[in-house]
Structure 1
Amino acid sequence: MGFKKPPQAPPSFTATPDSVLADTKSMLASSKKVTDDIVVSISLKDASFKNVLLPMANDENQQTLKAHILGFYQSVSTDQALRDASTEAEKLMDDFSIEAAMREDVFKLVDAALKSGENLDPESQRLLEKEHKGYVRNGLNIPAGPKRDRFKEIKKRLSQLGIAFSKNLNEENGGLWFTAQELDGVPTDVLSLLKKEGDKYFLTFKYPDLFPTLKYATNSETRKKVFIANENKSNQNVPLFREAILLRDEAARLLGYPNHAAFRIEDKMAKTPKTVDDFLSDLRGKLSQGGLDEIATLKELKKDDVKSRGEEYDGKYYLWDHRFYDRVMEEKDYQLDQQLIAEYFPLQNCIKGMLEIFEEIFGLQFVEIVGGDRDTISATGKGNDIVWHEEVQVFSVWDDEGEGGGFVGYLYLDLFPRVGKYGHAANFNLQPGFIHENGTRRYPATALVCNFSKPTAKKPSLLKHDEVTTLFHELGHGIHDLVSRTTYSRFHGTNTVRDFVEAPSQMLENWCWTPSQLKSLSKHYSTLSSDYYDSWREHAGSNVTKPEEHIPDDLIQKLIKTKNLNGALFNLRQLHFGIFDMTIHEPKDHASLEQLNISETYNALRKDISKIDGPEALGEGNGWGNGQATFGHLMGGYDAGYYGYLSSQVYSTDMFYSVFKKDPMNRTEGRRYRHTVLEKGGSQDEMKTLIDFLGREPKTDAFYEELGITK
């Protein structure tokens, strides 16, 4: 499909630090006027969904078109002043939201509208009930006075803490200097991108530097230094994290909950902390022995390796050993060379292949917008205005003819690291979809923000298999965002409960372990251009046979055999995060939380759950690192919710095994999944969505089967 002009212009990214703050203040003032007018003009006896909730929902729809982008600049802009303004804008928006969510005059009208018992369509009824519950959860059942004032004060402070924590992580720019000898084993294409002064390289804590070093550096002292420094890279976040945990607990108790976990989980699929604790405990029991068995095997590998270097083996297996020996095991026992595999996954080719998969199974079409076509669709007539950085790619997304041929939305890809940019991989909604007051559709815009290694003159950006999986996962969130069809922006796309939101993307990861899909996604980089071929030949040597264009079948088979290699240890790591999250959010009382040493708890739980030694095994105690201060999830919305990565894995595996395992490219099932699951967003109860798709209640059988665990 060639370029055709979409019916809606993409958003513009032309903000200045001054305009960000001015636009934020203007938007919030306009929103306040909408609510003030409702309060003045509607009496309690006349309150209805149509005259109270609907105007507020329409205003929220319009707000989100600006608000998400105003807050997005802090994650992607190269301009420090613009990032700072975006951070300030988010504070203003959060403060406004807290004030708005605690307006008793509005709550009384919403309460009256709920009690009027109007006959509403299901999504409007859900909005009414969620809005009502939101006011209750924001303290409006606390009598007006000092307690409610304190609750509001806590909410505002928690917002400030979250924003500061995230800013510290985004702007973290530390690292360590090493000699070439200390970095022995680290791939040359990684070293070539590092800053160099004299005979030393500066290694940052960004993923393209950090992970290859932990995987390939033969010097265990180097790996140890990198690992411990990375756990201490944002120590200014330690007091922020502690303060947030204490304030969350205090706020939950003011609302009458026994702890923050009870408050947070009440409106999720799990409903109660006990359900979560039982799930995590059950999984831990099933995985622990497997983890010990895996460590025993890895220790033997380490012992042989250490002895081969003429060094003394101390009988321990450390946290900074794991990525290294996990990789050694892949190469030794499975003859799997991740560097070789990466040669078959040039980033741009991989993206093209992934989009083709989504085109086929979901009935979509992706058209990259380049050159003059950007000017054609830009609201300003300037193509540069539709992206926030020159490296960003933008696609218009359409339904294919079978799905009606209509416009779907915009997809952005921002793939490489830069100073001040969000440091992980994530999907950001830029503008949600919804239905306008006049009944026409507003189309969404969504962005993938990643940090893959940059291409060089001799090589394109090459993805390790786990990066292929990460890209597919985040693209899965992007597709969820694009194909959602909800009336209200509140429920659009990934706006589902936290213990379901990862399931659709986790399910799509399975395509990265399917032979036919791996074949179609792959293309050896030497086949992309004569220059790349020459540089490959120079590196490989003249006596190596020319590689196949697509990844060979034997390499695919070796890769698939490693799918759950050391899987118990991988899932025990996830359990460490999940159990730590629950531990700090369900203390028996506030006093015991005040006495808790959070860093020591984090490290002690890691040793206890993951079974892998840290510096405490060297007599350094449990205070050696502050991993929680580097862990954005627990400050960014996954508080008392990290278990959702594991529980949604149960749902995603069940969906894949039941529906797609036999034929992952089944177009009929793909479209059914699109319309039954993805399209619904959060507009209905997520369990109903699952049951509608599966035709039954979800089960854990497939999850345990995948992990090789008998129930």
Structure 2
Amino acid sequence: MAPEKYRRPPQLPPRFTATTSSLIEDTKRLIDRSRNVQDRIVNELTPETANFENTMLPVARDDNLMALETHIIGFYQAVSTDKALRDASTEAEKLLDDFSIESSMREDVFKLVDAVFNKKESLDPESKRLLEKDHKSYIRNGLGVPAGPKRDRFKEIKKRLSEISIEFQKNLNEEAGGLWFTPEELDGVPEDLVSSLKKGEGENEGKLWLTFKYPDLFPTLKYANNAETRKKVFVANENKCNQNVPLFREAILLRDEAARILGYKNHAEFRIEDKMAKTPKTVDDFLADLRSRLTDGGKAEIKKLLELKKDDLKNRGINDGSDEHYFLWDHRYYDRLMLEKDYQLDQQKIAEYFPLSTTIQGMLKIFEELFGLAFVEIVGEDRDALAEGGSGSEIVWHKDVQVFSVWDDDGEGAGFVGYLYLDLFPREGKYGHAANFNLQPGFIDENGKRRYPATALVCNFSKPTPKKPSLLKHDEVVTLFHELGHGIHDLVSRTTYSRFHGTNTVRDFVEAPSQMLENWCWTPAQLRSLSHHYSYLSPDYENAYKESSGDEKKPSQQIPHEYIAALINTKHVNDALFNLRQLHFGTFDMTVHEPASHEDVEKLDITTTYNKLRKEIAQLDGPEVLEKKGDWTWGNGQATFGHLIGGYDAGYYGYLSSQVYSADMFYSVFKKDPMNGTEGRRYRHTVLERGGSMEEMDVLKEFLGREPNTEAFYKELGIQK
């Protein structure tokens, strides 16, 4: 039970009691209310009488109220175990998207907004930004195009793109493929995983079902000794959603057509105009510069890894000619082998010190200390109390979900901050990656009262078993920190309008705050404070550890210093190849969104482009060097690339460019003393609190006390400026 002062948050959490019919009914009710707000403004005002208060404010307040319900309505399709509910959520999102397109293209509303914009009223900075962004948004949504066939076509395209996005993500969420393997084919894969796999019957008697979900996929690519097994898994995973191939192509073509209707040269120019980069040339130059700096490093890393592969095959008596190639399905395996051989790094051993439950507790403790927060898990009676007479199960969407109330500590005023949810294990139909979802934004309501946010981390870590809890590899600890970084951004943001809340920043900045927090996973004191060997969690786990390890003596409770030193020594091992992989994604994204003409994009073989670019940039061989030499159509990785359909189009470079800002912030402010609470709170109030309510570059300059630069980024990568 929570301490008394934390038991009654001033705002109840949302309840997850939707039905298939309520999702649609609620969506229609919200759309009707919103349309009425717009109709009333148009009926009551003229361009002469329109001002910010009577035109912009009613719509902004309606947006605030809409977001309280619509984010959750759309969230069910990512997390519900009920397919009918997921389908209804998808249908509701289509209705909302169609209405959003209708609203964004209302010329009668735009005429009033345009009149307000041209009056140049004296407004507070956030309201001024809202007006500027809304005005520009109408133009970017086709209202700068004369009414007629062109504008009608633009609207048609917007609707179809919305349908594609929803269908594409639904296919990924509901992907349920996999492969049957014999236990021998899975030699080397950790026993914990192998023993948890579904056993075959009938024609698959004696085989095990391996899915493409991360807890199955990554350990198999990392540990399977059989190269043919790794190849089968890798190639099948690239082809797991081939129904998305035509959708991806259609989206690329429609985006290009829409951009040209608006008078842009291509979709990239349209998308990047309002980002920090401003122009495609800035992005192309950044990516090309990074590629030139990383290419030689990548070649050197492959050379070393290929030598390791040759030795490994020789020692195992394998002479099949594959030692001439370093394959895509080799990389996770030999990267792991190199860490074990050259750095004495056993990721399985390290994972024993990071049970999910204690790692989360340690992580929240770091954020408490750094940002002046208090996280209080809501369980048992406290859940029931917050369900207002209902069951405590109604304030979560699945029994595995944890929920926390988040508060300012006494030094920050002891006020309520919001709700944090953790949904950490895979299940059928659930979103398959790791992400942070805003469930309800924060804002100031029309009475001047603060509305508090709710945010959810949705991840896919391995489930606990009777013999072992869920144990995190170090890279999963980093993932958890990253996503929780987005969650903290969402929680501590304090904006007037929901439009700018939390992570609603430009895409080439949004990753910087969470990337910066990844650095805490590489500092010795923080790693040690997070660690807690699983054998100390319960007598059962202690016995299971002794049984599996054959060791009667328990290990140290915290991770040994030599393990930490070995881990930190590996931070930049094969770093060039890691960043070249990101560069491949970013370059592919720009290539398909930056054609010289519409005819060029029509002629583009997207699958070949994706695979060829990967070979040219990342330098790893694929099946194209094997049986059908020169055939680049063996896999459709773009069809699994949800980012490029879900908002990162002509924006994936942001993962790399955000690293420039995150490295600059960490090295300049936190490197010497990562747990400096004064600087942590300054960062919270200067950067995170503002969300997207200010120009992101101005926020950065204020925090750093100067213009940001690339020095720390290149230093971190170990390459010259």
- TM bin (shorter chain): over 0.9
Matched, 1:581 2:589: yes
Which residue of 380, 387, 391 maps to 2:400? 391
Matched, 1:665 2:675: yes
1:539 corresponds to: 548
Which residue of 435, 442, 447 maps to 1:438? 447
Gaps of 5+ in 2: none
How big is the shift at 1:199? 1.2
2:691 corresponds to: 681
1:516 corresponds to: 525
Gaps of 5+ in 1: none
What are the superposed Cα offsets for residues 53-112 of structure 1, whole Å, 9 maximum, x if unpaired?
000000000000000000000000000000000000000000000000000000000000
Checking the alignment, whether the CA contact within 8 Å between 1:346 and 1:461 is kept in structure 2 is yes
Cα distance in 2, alignment partners of residues 298 and 5 from structure 1: 57
Cα distance, 1:187–1:620 mapped onto 2, change above 3 Å: farther
Which residue of 577, 592, 600 maps to 2:608? 600
Matched, 1:236 2:243: yes
Cα distance in 1, alignment partners of residues 168 and 433 from structure 2: 15
How big is the shift at 1:553? 0.2
What are the superposed Cα offsets for residues 523-564 of structure 1, whole Å, 9 maximum, x if unpaired?
000011111000000001036x42000000000000000111
2:183 corresponds to: 180
Secondary structure class of the residue paired with 1:680: coil
Which residue of 132, 147, 165 maps to 1:144? 147
How big is the shift at 1:48? 0.6
Cα distance in 1, alignment partners of residues 647 and 185 from structure 2: 39
Q: Which amino acid aligns with 1:706?
A: E
Checking the alignment, whether the CA contact within 8 Å between 1:10 and 1:379 is kept in structure 2 is no
Matched, 1:88 2:91: yes
Checking the alignment, whether the CA contact within 8 Å between 1:52 and 1:110 is kept in structure 2 is yes
Show the 5 A alignment for 1:406-421. Answer: 406-421=415-430
What are the superposed Cα offsets for residues 3-27 of structure 1, whole Å, 9 maximum, x if unpaired?
4210000000000000000000010
Cα distance in 1, alignment partners of residues 630 and 314 from structure 2: 25
1:28 corresponds to: 31
Cα distance in 2, alignment partners of residues 193 and 394 from structure 1: 27
Cα distance in 2, alignment partners of residues 192 and 640 from structure 1: 42
Secondary structure class of the residue paired with 2:186: coil
Secondary structure class of the residue paired with 2:432: coil
What are the superposed Cα offsets for residues 682-704 of structure 1, whole Å, 9 maximum, x if unpaired?
00000001001000000000000
Q: Which amino acid aligns with 1:390?
A: K
Which residue of 656, 674, 680 maps to 2:666? 656
Cα distance in 1, alignment partners of residues 268 and 357 from structure 2: 42
Cα distance in 2, alignment partners of residues 140 and 672 from structure 1: 41
Matched, 1:705 2:712: no
Cα distance in 2, alignment partners of residues 648 and 128 from structure 1: 27
Cα distance in 2, alignment partners of residues 170 and 273 from structure 1: 31
Checking the alignment, whether the CA contact within 8 Å between 1:513 and 1:560 is kept in structure 2 is yes
Cα distance in 2, alignment partners of residues 484 and 53 from structure 1: 22
What are the superposed Cα offsets for residues 665-697 of structure 1, whole Å, 9 maximum, x if unpaired?
000000000000000000000000100100000
Show the 5 A alignment for 1:341-490. Answer: 341-490=350-499
Show the 5 A alignment for 1:280-299. Answer: 280-299=287-306
Secondary structure class of the residue paired with 2:390: coil
Show the 5 A alignment for 1:97-116. Answer: 97-116=100-119
Cα distance in 1, alignment partners of residues 119 and 67 from structure 2: 29
What are the superposed Cα offsets for residues 460-516 of structure 1, whole Å, 9 maximum, x if unpaired?
000000000000000000000000000000000000000000000000000000000
Cα distance in 1, alignment partners of residues 423 and 92 from structure 2: 22
Cα distance in 1, alignment partners of residues 588 and 476 from structure 2: 26
- Answer with 215-224 or 3-12: which moved more: 3-12
Cα distance in 2, alignment partners of residues 48 and 272 from structure 1: 33
Which residue of 301, 307, 317 maps to 2:326? 317
Q: Which amino acid aligns with 1:17?
A: T
**Over the residues paired in the alignment, what is the CA RMSD in angstroms?**
0.7
1:559 corresponds to: 567
Cα distance in 2, alignment partners of residues 405 and 534 from structure 1: 43
- Answer with 617-626 or 284-293: which moved more: 617-626
How big is the shift at 1:577? 0.1
Cα distance in 1, alignment partners of residues 388 and 284 from structure 2: 51
What are the superposed Cα offsets for residues 421-467 of structure 1, whole Å, 9 maximum, x if unpaired?
00000000000000000000000000000000000001100000000
Cα distance in 1, alignment partners of residues 600 and 565 from structure 2: 51
Number of residue pairs matched? 710
Cα distance, 1:17–1:651 mapped onto 2, change above 3 Å: same
How big is the shift at 1:380? 4.9
2:313 corresponds to: 306
Cα distance in 2, alignment partners of residues 99 and 4 from structure 1: 43
Q: Which amino acid aligns with 1:245?
A: I
Checking the alignment, whether the CA contact within 8 Å between 1:599 and 1:626 is kept in structure 2 is yes
Matched, 1:48 2:48: no
Q: Which amino acid aligns with 2:390?
A: G
Secondary structure class of the residue paired with 2:196: coil
Matched, 1:571 2:579: yes
Secondary structure class of the residue paired with 2:305: helix
TM-score of the superposition, structure 1-length normalised?
Answer: 0.99
How big is the shift at 1:620? 5.3
Cα distance in 2, alignment partners of residues 521 and 262 from structure 1: 44
Calculate percent identity across the aligned residue pairs. 73
1:630 corresponds to: 640
Cα distance in 2, alignment partners of residues 379 and 86 from structure 1: 25
Secondary structure class of the residue paired with 1:25: helix
